[in-house]
Structure 1
C-alpha cells in the first residue's frame, strides 16, 4: 500500500483490523467474481477501515474517494479542468495538451495505471509530478484496492452511472475521446464500496455487487478490537487495562440495549475506542464520579443538548 501518513483516532493507515472469516470469504468471492464488495453496517463499525487494511496486508496499491452530495460518477473515473483550459486558450499559450487538464479518478488508477500515468497516452512519462508515481512503479502488477466511501450520500444517478464502467471495466474520457480499458498486467482490483443506509441504492446496482453487512459488536469482538489497538499503540495489556476494556465493553452493550438510545442511534466500535482512550488518559472509568458525563460524551450521545 502507498506510504500513508495518517494520524488521529480514525487513521486510515491499514495497521489494525479485526477480520472475521466470513468477511474474508466475502472478499474472496468479490475477487473471484470481479465484482465490487458493497459493505453496509452501523456507522463506526469499521467499513472504511477494511480497504486500507487489506491493501497493506497484501502489499497492493490503494486509492480512495469519499463521496459527497456533489459527487458525479465521472469523478471516480476522471475530471477535466475545462475552466483552466479555456483560460490558457484565451491567453494564447501555444499548443495545448489536453492531458495537462485531465486528472484520473480512482477507478482509472486501479484498472489502468499505465494509462492513468500518461493520461491515456497524451503525456509522456514523467511529464509532470504525480503523487502516485513512485508507488505505482513499485507495485503496479500487485493489484489495487479502491475505497468508494459512503456511496449512499450521492445522487441515485451516480450508482446507476457506474454500472457500465464497473461491469465492463472500461470507459471513454468524453473530452478527449480517450478509451480506457483494464490493463492485463495491472493485477486484481478489489473495489470496496461502503454505505450507511441513509439512502436506498438502486436494485440494478445491488445486483452487480457482492453484498456484506458487518455484524453489530459483541463483547467478545470489542475485546478483540481493544487488544489489537492497544498492542499497536504499544500499551501493556496488564490486568487493569484489560479490566477497563471489559468494563467499557459491558457499558457499550448496556447502552445499545437502552430503548431511548436505540431510537436515536446505537454507539459503535469507534465510540467504544474513544471511551477507552479517554478513560486511560484521564485515569477514570465506570464507578468514577465523572463517568456519567464521559459516558454521555462518548457512548450514549442522546439528545442532551435538548435537556
Structure 2
C-alpha cells in the first residue's frame, strides 16, 4: 500500500460555502426567491450540494448565516425559540427567598428569530427598558463581521420531520412574526432594510404538504456533469491552498467520467447513485494514497467511496 503523502488533508466539504460551485439555474432561483421574499426549497438527491448552498450565498453576499438541521423530533417552534423549563425549575428550587426569576433568561432564540429581529433576539425578547436579562450570543461568531440587517437561514432536511413541521412554518414564514408563549414577547420582522433569505432542503424521504410547496420557490439541484465535477475538485483544492495542475486535472476528469458510469451502474442495480460528495471523497483518497484509475486498489476504493456495495464473503 502506498504511504500517505503527509500533507494536510483537504476537507471535502467544510460547509462554509467557500469552495462551492453554483449551477446557473440554481443561482437564478436564488435571485427569484430573494426578489419574491419566498423561501427557496432545494430538491435533489443526497450529496448534490443542497446544504452548502446557503452558506455559499451568505458568504458571497456578506450576510449573517444561521442553520438548523431537522430531526424527527424537530417542531416548528424550535425554529423560532426554545424555553429551558428544566433549568428554570432547578433555579426556582435554589433561589433566595423572595427573589424573582426572569423568564426572559430561559428563552433561546431560534434561527428564524435571529433572521427576523436580530437585536430583539440578542435581548431574548426583553423590552428596551428592561436591563435585567442575560444577552443571547449569536450562534455563529462569523456573523459579527457580516451585515447586521441581512441574513440567510438554512433549514436542512425538512422531510425528516413530521408533516406538522412544514405546516407549522406557514404562518411565521408568511407573516414574518410570532409570539413567544412563555413571555408574551412579540417578534416581528421590523423592515427598515432588514432582509432575510430562507433556504430549505429536502431529500424526498417524505412528501411535503401542498400548502407548503405553494409558498416556496422550488428548484431541483441538477445531477452532476463531468465539467461541474472537475470545477468542484479544482475549487476545493485551490481553496485549501493545494495545486491543481495537469496531473490533478487529469485525475479529476478521469474520476468524473468514472463517477458518471458508476451512476448509471447504480441506477441499473436499484441502489442510490453516487453524487458530488462521494466524488470528492474518492478524489481526496486517490490523491492522498496515490491511487490511479488503473491501480489494483482502485476497484476496492471505488466500492468504498462511490458504489458503497460490499460483496458478501464466500
Q: TM-score, normalised by structure 2?
A: 0.90
Alpha-carbon contact 1:255-1:267 (below 8 Å) kept: yes
1:40 paired residue number: 43
2:115 paired residue number: 110
TM-superposed CA distance for 1:176, in Å, is 1.2
Distance 1:129 1:103, change over 3 A: closer
User: What does residue range 13-92 of structure 1 map to in structure 2 within 5 Å?
Assistant: 13-92=16-95
- Other structure's SS at 1:264 match: coil
User: Alpha-carbon deviations, 1:45-92, whole Å to 9, x = none?
Assistant: 000000111111111100000000011110000000111112222323
1:4 paired residue number: none
Alpha-carbon contact 2:44-2:220 (below 8 Å) kept: yes
1:150 paired residue number: 157
Distance 1:249 1:125, change over 3 A: farther
Distance 1:168 1:158 in 2: 16
Among residues 167, 181, 205, which one is paired with 2:212 in the alignment?
Answer: 205
Alpha-carbon contact 1:36-1:190 (below 8 Å) kept: yes
User: What does residue range 111-190 of structure 1 map to in structure 2 within 5 Å?
Assistant: 111-121=116-126, 124=131, 127-128=134-135, 130-132=137-139, 139-185=146-192, 187-190=194-197
Distance 1:180 1:53, change over 3 A: same
Distance 2:86 2:297 in 1: 56
2:7 paired residue number: none
**Long gaps (5+) in structure 2:** 1-9
Among residues 282, 286, 290, which one is paired with 1:283 in the alignment?
Answer: 290
Q: TM-score, normalised by structure 1?
A: 0.92
Instruction: Say if 2:304 is the partner of 1:297.
Output: yes
Instruction: Say if 2:66 is the partner of 1:99.
Output: no
Distance 1:136 1:12, change over 3 A: closer
Distance 1:280 1:38, change over 3 A: same
- Other structure's SS at 2:19 match: coil
User: Alpha-carbon deviations, 1:231-269, whole Å to 9, x = none?
Assistant: 112222222111111110111011111156651100000
TM-superposed CA distance for 1:183, in Å, is 1.9
Distance 1:21 1:78, change over 3 A: same
1:3 paired residue number: none
- Other structure's SS at 2:174 match: helix
Alpha-carbon contact 1:30-1:210 (below 8 Å) kept: yes
**Long gaps (5+) in structure 1:** 1-6
Distance 1:127 1:85, change over 3 A: closer
> 4+ runs of 1 displaced by more than 3 Å?
122-129, 131-142, 259-262, 303-307
- Other structure's SS at 1:146 match: strand
TM-superposed CA distance for 1:124, in Å, is 3.5
2:273 paired residue number: 266
The more displaced of 227-236 and 55-64 is 227-236
